[in-house]
Amino acid sequence: MMPAASGVGALGRLAATLAIVCGIAGTASGCSTIESRAVSQEETTKVNLANQRRAAVMFRREYRNPELKAIRFMREGGRPGLGAPWGVNARITIGDQHYEEVLQLDSWAGEQLPPEVLGDELAGVVVTYSDGASEVLNDNR
């Protein structure tokens, strides 16, 4: 004979079920959260595009290599888990080689990049955002 479900166990299962249902409903409705408040998909996209630009500017400023030609964002970006910083996949073109990186707002990680070349003048870098828009970042931006 199976023991009767305890009140705590039943409540725990109910809470887990509700969390899953609410998560699915929130995703299906196109809603998200930013700083613990519900926002529309349009606002989430705007925040992600602004973060992509900030990440591109940071990368260009920090990685000084005159062969840096382009940064292409492969998706919108976001926070992969609780407490994780915002990040986005990007394809970095240096010379004629492509490198897969994850850019954050203050750092990056991924494939081994060629060494930086200090002192050389940098050319403009073509940045293509996840929505297809592009711009050229120069030293003064």
State the pLDDT at residue 18. 44
Residue boundaries of the structural domains of the chain: 47-137
Please give the Cα distance from 84 to 112 (Å, whole number).
23
State the pLDDT at residue 106. 94
Please give the Cα distance from 54 to 105 (Å, whole number).
6
Average pLDDT of adjacent 10-residue blocks, the chain of 141 residues: 50 49 44 50 84 96 93 92 91 97 96 88 92 89 48
Please give the Cα distance from 60 to 138 (Å, whole number).
9
Please give the Cα distance from 86 to 78 (Å, whole number).
5
Minimal CA–CA distance to 74: which of 61, 63, 87, 60?
A: 87
State the pLDDT at residue 43. 67
State the pLDDT at residue 83. 86
State the pLDDT at residue 28. 43
State the pLDDT at residue 37. 46
State the pLDDT at residue 22. 43
Please give the Cα distance from 112 to 101 (Å, whole number).
9
Please give the Cα distance from 55 to 103 (Å, whole number).
6
